[in-house]
Structure formats: structure tokens, C-alpha cells
């Protein structure tokens, strides 16, 4: 019911989104504003995708996703199927290829390769469905043929609400060209969108679902043919309002406190994080965004580097950690064997007062799944236990670690 690549995706946990293209050079544009952005504006004279990778690798990211073509139709590679591409810009006298430089940098730094492609673009609603599908398939084939192994293909449903795609043919082409690829959220998905662009996963956060959130333009979910194993991804911006770089919103870079909160609501609820940073007009990651990313990830890494305990024993539906002497605890991390398809439906964490008396419930939860981080007020205890109260089958908890984090 699941693929090995989907289980690997859960281990990635943390990726970085790069919105970069023609819109980087035209301040103030918004999605679907239909404003012209002439090709002579695109000229990232200091483009350095290795700098991008050095920053995100230091932060601990395992994968990246580059916008290859956004809704405006601009191709970040020299596509044979459009004149609106890097091939007709001043950058490198039309001989440059952002996708190539990005893919090469990913591989050099050991980062999984993700490519974003917007199926819909300006004017696509006015074109014949079959002709547009041909154009779409031709461009996707270029991306999946010319750049070696691609780990992740990220489709954006925004703008495709009323277009009928030849999904069977599209999926056949993609799977034929890249058999091990993961597809985000559309047609034959391997992962799914959380349903917002703020980084917050829901609770419960089931990994097996029968419908998908499709687009920011509609609240109607797309029904699936059957229940499917689909890990969740939470995409969000480092800056408050813009996906692409803006010279006017540096003061909206998220605070460390907000980013820590997002971590608890995303990875802490078993989802992956995909945080966006827009490379600037030089073609480099802005300093403030880069420094905040590293600061955030360093804090998380340090906070969870020293567990009080990792050992536990199972007694029926109860998992117990004991301590030689009382300790102060305010976090428990739980992980379930997700190959059993998230059997836990509800659980509680109970701590024993260090002197005597029955246990006190310090946390009540629902999904455990790939990971859940349980945060509660500090409790001084010599024994803590996780009680599985409801499950769809025989659960298997593979991690129960405890922490005190200031």
C-alpha cells in the first residue's frame, strides 16, 4: 500500500523551496495578475546555486524544490517549446540554464532533487485542452529526460481548477521517464499538500486518506479512488507575503519564535516541512533569510540533541520509561511504525509524581504516525508512560524519547 520512496520521503523531513524566475525581477507582481514581464529583465549576474545548497545543507535540509516554470510560463531552462525562457534573456547571452545549475549543485552537496512545475499558466484556460496537454507533456519530458535522476516532482494545482488534463497519459509519461520519482499531490500522488500555506498540519494527521486538498482557489477536496498512503508536506514562506524575492519585505522574515512554533505544528505532527526562500536579483539567497534559517535549525538541532531517556518497555498497551532518580520533563517524542499505516487513533501520556500517588495525565493526543512531539508543562517525575487508548490494529511504537527543553 506504500512505496519505499514514500518511507524515504518521511525521513527527509525538511526541505527548502526556491521560487526564482522572471518574477524575481519585477517588483510587486502577484499570482495571476497577467501583467507582462519582458525577458530583458531577467539577468541574475551572480547566480550561484552552490551558495543556495551550502546554506540549506548547513541548516540540515535533506531536499530542495526549484520552481522551473511558474504560472507566468517562464521556463528556467532553454525549453524547445516556448520562446519565453532563459534562452531569450540577457543572462549568459541566452546560453544559461538555471535548472542545470540547480540540479548539479544539489548533487554536489547531497541534496535530493525536487522540481516544481505549474501545469496551468497565463492564457492556458483559452487553449484547446489537447494542444495544451501536448505542450505540458513536452516540457515535463524535457525536465525528466535532460537532468538525470529527479527525486520529486512538485505540481501546483492553482489555476487548473477547470482544465481537463489527459491524466492517464501524463502519469504514464512521468512514470516511464522516472520510475522512482515521487509526485506531489496531483493525479497519481505519492505525497499530499496540507491544505494551507502557513506550515501548520492538522490533528489528527492521518497518513492514509481518501481525498486531497487541490488548490488555494477552492475548498473542495478531490476524491481518490481508494484509501491511499500519502505523507503530508507543509509548504510556507520565510517571508510573510511573497514567494518570490521582493526588495520591500525584508522586515517580514519570520521570527525565531514563530518558526519554532511551525516546527512543532509540522514535523512535530508527522509532516514534512518545505520552507520557501526566494533567491534575490543577484541569484543568491538573501543574508537575513539564510541567517534565520540556520539559526532556527541550529536551535532545533541543539534542543533535541540530549534526550533524558530513549529506553522504554512495553506492557500491553502501555509504554513506560523509568529514571534512576527524578527528572524534570516537558517533551516526549513518539514514533510509530508507519508501515503498519498509523494504527494509533488516540493516546495519553501520564507522569508519576516523584514521591507517591497515581499518575497524572500531562498530554492527550490522537495521531502518532511518523513522529509526534508532545509538549506539556514541566513535570518532576521518576516514571512516565504512554497509554494507547484506541488503535485500528496492533500498534508498534518504535521511539519514545523524553526531554527537558527551556
Domain map of the chain by residue range?
A: 4-303, 313-403
As a CATH number, domain 313-403 is 2.60.120.260
Q: At how many degrees (to 10) do helices 49-59 and 98-108 cross?
A: 40
| Phi/psi of residue 87, nearest 5 degrees | -65, -20
Q: What is the pLDDT of residues 10-37, one digit of tens each?
A: 999 999 999 999 999 999 998 888 899 9
Q: What is the pLDDT of residues 225-252, one digit of tens each?
A: 888 999 999 999 999 999 999 999 999 9
End-to-end CA gap in the chain:
40
Q: What is the pLDDT of residues 341-351, one digit of tens each?
A: 768 999 999 99
Q: What is the SS3 assignment for 88?
A: helix
C-alpha cell of residue 361: 495525565
Does the pLDDT value for residue 126 go beyond 70? no
Does the pLDDT value for residue 95 go beyond 80? yes
Work out the percent of the chain whose per-residue pLDDT is above 70.
95
Q: Quick one: pLDDT at residue 321?
A: 97
Q: What is the pLDDT of residues 300-331, one digit of tens each?
A: 999 999 999 999 999 999 999 999 999 999 99
Distance CA(123)–CA(254), nearest Å, equals: 34
Q: Quick one: pLDDT at residue 125?
A: 56
* Contact indicator for 61, 111 with CB cutoff of 8 Å: yes
Q: Quick one: pLDDT at residue 122?
A: 80
Q: pLDDT confidence of 94, banded at 50, 70, 90? A: very high
Q: What is the pLDDT of residues 32-87, one digit of tens each?
A: 888 999 999 999 999 999 999 999 999 999 999 999 999 999 999 999 999 999 99
Q: Quick one: pLDDT at residue 160?
A: 67
Q: What is the pLDDT of residues 149-175, one digit of tens each?
A: 999 999 997 766 667 788 899 999 999
Distance CA(213)–CA(176), nearest Å, equals: 26
Q: Quick one: pLDDT at residue 216?
A: 64
Q: pLDDT confidence of 366, banded at 50, 70, 90? A: very high
Residue found by looking up cell 527528572 in the block? 327
Torsion over CA: 336, 340, 344, 345 (sign): positive
Distance CA(96)–CA(9), nearest Å, equals: 31
Work out the percent of the chain whose per-residue pLDDT is above 90.
82
C-alpha cell of residue 84: 519565453
Distance CA(99)–CA(170), nearest Å, equals: 21
User: Residue range 388-399: average pLDDT?
Assistant: 92
Q: pLDDT confidence of 223, banded at 50, 70, 90? A: confident
Mean pLDDT score across all residues of the chain: 94
Determine which helix (DSSP H) or strand (DSSP E) holds 134, and give its type and residue range.
helix 129-145
Q: What is the pTM of this model?
A: 0.95
Domains 4-303 and 313-403 share a fold: no
Q: What is the pLDDT of residues 265-302, one digit of tens each?
A: 999 999 999 999 999 999 999 999 999 999 999 999 99
Does the pLDDT value for residue 195 go beyond 60? yes
Distance CA(289)–CA(252), nearest Å, equals: 10
Q: pLDDT confidence of 118, banded at 50, 70, 90? A: very high
Residue found by looking up cell 517533551 in the block? 331
Q: Quick one: pLDDT at residue 212?
A: 75
CATH topology of domain 4-303: TIM Barrel (3.20.20)
Q: Quick one: pLDDT at residue 173?
A: 97
User: Residue range 125-144: average pLDDT?
Assistant: 86
Does the pLDDT value for residue 91 go beyond 60? yes
Q: Quick one: pLDDT at residue 351?
A: 98
Q: Minimal CA–CA distance to 342: which of 365, 319, 362?
A: 365
Q: What angle do CA 185, 186, 188 make, to 5 degrees?
A: 100
Residue found by looking up cell 512505496 in the block? 3
Helix spans in 159-286 (H): 167-177, 256-265
Does the pLDDT value for residue 124 go beyond 60? no
* Contact indicator for 100, 77 with CB cutoff of 8 Å: yes
Q: Quick one: pLDDT at residue 217?
A: 57
Q: Quick one: pLDDT at residue 131?
A: 83
Q: Quick one: pLDDT at residue 210?
A: 85
User: Residue range 358-385: average pLDDT?
Assistant: 97
Amino acid at each position: 500500500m506504500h512505496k519505499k520512496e514514500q518511507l524515504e520521503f518521511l525521513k527527509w523531513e525538511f526541505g527548502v523551496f526556491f521560487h526564482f524566475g522572471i518574477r524575481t525581477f519585477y517588483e510587486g507582481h502577484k499570482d495571476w495578475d497577467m501583467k507582462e514581464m519582458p525577458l530583458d529583465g531577467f539577468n541574475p549576474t551572480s547566480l550561484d546555486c552552490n551558495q543556495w545548497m551550502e546554506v540549506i545543507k548547513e541548516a540540515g535540509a535533506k531536499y530542495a524544490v526549484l520552481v522551473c516554470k511558474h504560472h507566468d510560463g517562464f521556463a528556467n531552462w532553454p525549453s524547445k517549446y516556448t520562446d519565453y525562457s532563459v534562452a531569450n534573456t540577457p543572462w549568459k547571452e541566452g546560453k544559461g540554464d538555471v535548472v542545470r545549475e540547480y540540479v548539479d549543485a544539489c548533487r554536489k552537496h547531497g541534496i535530493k532533487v525536487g522540481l516544481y512545475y505549474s501545469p496551468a499558466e497565463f492564457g492556458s484556460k483559452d487553449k484547446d485542452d489537447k494542444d495544451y496537454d501536448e505542450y505540458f507533456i513536452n516540457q515535463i519530458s524535457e525536465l525528466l529526460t535532460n537532468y538525470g535522476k529527479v527525486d520529486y516532482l512538485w505540481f501546483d494545482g492553482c489555476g487548473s481548477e477547470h482544465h481537463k488534463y489527459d491524466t492517464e497519459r501524463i502519469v504514464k509519461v512521468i512514470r516511464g521517464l522516472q520510475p522512482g520519482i515521487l509526485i506531489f499531490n496531483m493525479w497519481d500522488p505519492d505525497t499530499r499538500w496540507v491544505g494551507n500555506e502557513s506550515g501548520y498540519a492538522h490533528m489528527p494527521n492521518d497518513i492514509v486518506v481518501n481525498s486531497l486538498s487541490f488548490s488555494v482557489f477552492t475548498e473542495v477536496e478531490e476524491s481518490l479512488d481508494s484509501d491511499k498512503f500519502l505523507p503530508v508536506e507543509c509548504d510556507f514562506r520565510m517571508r510573510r507575503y511573497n514567494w518570490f524575492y521582493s526588495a520591500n519585505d525584508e522586515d517580514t522574515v519570520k521570527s525565531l519564535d514563530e518558526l519554532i512554533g511551525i516546527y512543532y505544528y509540522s514535523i512535530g505532527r508527522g509532516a514534512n516541512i518545505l520552507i520557501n526562500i526566494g533567491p534575490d536579483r543577484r541569484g543568491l539567497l538573501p543574508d537575513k533569510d539564510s541567517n534565520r534559517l540556520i539559526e532556527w535549525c541550529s536551535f532545533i538541532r541543539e534542543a533535541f540533541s540530549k534526550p533524558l531517556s530513549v529506553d522504554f518497555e512495553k506492557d500491553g498497551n502501555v509504554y513506560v520509561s523509568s529514571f534512576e532518580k527524578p527528572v524534570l520533563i516537558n517533551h516526549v517524542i513518539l514514533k510509530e511504525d508507519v508501515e503498519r499505516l498509523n494504527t494509533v487513533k488516540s493516546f495519553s501520556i501520564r507522569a508519576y509524581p516523584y514521591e507517591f500517588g497515581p499518575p497524572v495525565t500531562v498530554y492527550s493526543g490522537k495521531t502518532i504516525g511518523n513522529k509526534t512531539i508532545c509538549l506539556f508543562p514541566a513535570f518532576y517525575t521518576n516514571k512516565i508512560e504512554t497509554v494507547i487508548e484506541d488503535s485500528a490494529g496492533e500498534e508498534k511504537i518504535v521511539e519514545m524519547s523524553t526531554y527537558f527543553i527551556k
